[in-house]
Amino acid sequence: MNDKAWHGARKAVSKAAAFVSALGLMTVASCSDWTVPESMGIDSQGLGQQYPELYARYLENLKEYKEGPHKLSVGWFDNSASVPSGQADRLTALPDSMDAVVLMYPDMVEAWELDEMASVRSTKGTKVLYHIDYASAPGTSETGESADGAAEMTPDEAAVEISAWMDKILPMCEENGFDGISVWYDPLELSHLEDAAREYETARQNAFETALSGWIAANPDKMLILESNYPYLVSDKSIVENADLLAVHTEEAESIYDVESEVRNLEMDGVPSDRFLVMADAGSSSVPGSGYINDADGQSVDAISEIAWLVAEPHEGLELAGLGICSIRNSYFNADLIYAQVRRAISIMNPISNR
C-alpha cells in the first residue's frame, strides 16, 4: 500500500474503531469473550460487580492479550501527590490495556500507591516501573550538562557520588515491589570535551554504567527500559543489548517527519531495531501548543494519535515496538471519555478483535 492509500485508510479505520468498540460493549452481555483492547471509558470494575463471571473472563483475556504479540503502550506518570485528589492520581484509573506505567518519583511512593501497584499488576497484568534520570545524578549542572569537575570535585569523588546515588535508588525496585526500571541516559560525547571535563565525565559515566550493569545481572527477571537518543554512546554495550525497550525521546518534535527521522538515526550496528518505543507528549494546559504535532500534510494534530499511527505503519528494516506517553496523567481529563487519547492510540496500534 502506498503512502497516500495508507493515509486514507487510517482515517477510515479511526472512524470505524469507535463504532466497533461501541458494538462490542453493547453485545458484551451475550458474548463469551470481552473485547480487548478496550477503547471505551467503561468502569470495568463496576461492571465486574454486576457480571463477575464475565469480568473474570475479561481479565483473563486482557492478560493473554498483553502476553501475546502486540504494539506496547507505556505511560510516564507523575506520582507526586501524597494523597489522591481525584481519579487522575490513581493508577487504577489508567486504561486497562496499558502494558506498563513508569512512576516519575520512586522516593515519593505512598502506601496507597503500593496497594494500587499490586492491584493493577495482579488483576490486569500492568507492569509498574520507576524512573531514573542520569541528568539528575550528583555532579550535574542545572542545564543537564556535566558540571566542571575541576570546580566541583575530582573524578574519583564524582564516581563515588554516582555510585552512592545508584546504591540508594536501585534497591527501591525490590523494596517496593516494582517490575523494573526506566533509565534516561544520554551520555555526553566524550571526544568533544576538554581534557579535565572528559576525565571527570568519564569517571561519572563509568560509575553509572557499572552500577546499572550490576543491577541488570542481579535482576534478570526485571524489566529495563533504556531511554536514550544516543544509545551508541553507551560504553557498556551489554546495557543496550539487555534493554527490553529503547525509548526514543521524540515528544518535543515539531512534525511526524522529525519523529521518524529521530528513530531512523538510530539504525546502526549495535542498536537493536526491533524494540524502539516512540515517545509522545500528552500536553499540558499551561504550555500552549504542547501535545500537538504536524502531520504529513502539515496540519496540527493530536501527537499521541499521530505517533500511534506511525508505530502501527509498516517500516522497512524497522520494527517499532510501541508508544511511550510522557505526562500521561495530563491526558486523563476529557469531557466525554477519560484517557480518550490514550485509548484511541491503543486501538490504532492494535485494531480491535474479539478474543
pLDDT (tens digit, 9 = 90+) per residue, 288-331?
788 999 999 999 999 999 999 999 999 888 889 999 999 999 99
Query: What pLDDT is attached to residue 104?
Result: 98
Burial 45-64 (b: 16+ CB within 10 A, else e): eebbeeeeebbebbbebbbe
> What pLDDT, on the 0 to 100 scale, is given for residue 49?
78
In which band, very low, low, confident or very high, does the pLDDT at 46 lie, cut at 50, 70 and 90? low
Tell me whether residue 58 is in a domain: no
Mapped onto helix, strand or coil, the DSSP state of residue 254 is coil
Residue 13 reports pLDDT greater than 60: no
218-255 pLDDT, tens digit each: 999 999 999 999 999 999 999 999 999 999 999 999 99
The pLDDT of residue 28? 38
Band the pLDDT of 25: cuts 50, 70, 90: very low
CA dist., res. 265 & res. 253, Å (int): 14
Residue 50 lies in a domain: no
Q: pLDDT tens-digit profile of 28-39?
A: 333 334 455 554
Domain count of the fold of the chain: 1
Task: Kindly state the percentage of the chain with pLDDT values over 70.
Answer: 82
Tell me, yes or no, whether 10 lies in a domain. Answer: no
Asked whether the predicted pLDDT for residue 131 surpasses 70, the reply is yes
Residue 65 forms part of a structural domain: no
Q: How confident is the model at residue 44 (pLDDT cuts 50, 70, 90)?
A: low
Q: Which H helix or E strand runs over 290?
A: none
Task: Please indicate, yes or no, if residue 348 is contained in any of the structural domains.
Answer: yes
Which helix (H) or strand (E) is 308 found in, with range?
helix 303-312
Is 53 inside a domain boundary? no
Range of the domain at 228: 70-354
Residue-level pLDDT at 39 = 43
The CATH number linked to 82 is 3.20.20.80
Q: For residue 6, is it within any domain?
A: no
Cα(73)–Cα(75) distance, rounded to whole angstroms? 7
SS3 (DSSP) at 223: strand
Average pLDDT along the chain: 86
Please give the pLDDT value at position 57: 92
User: Which pLDDT value is given to residue 268?
Assistant: 86
Grid coordinates given for 242: 539487555
Burial of 131 (0-12, 13-18, 19+ CB in 10 A): buried
Angle at CA 296, nearest 5°, toward 293 and 300?
Answer: 30
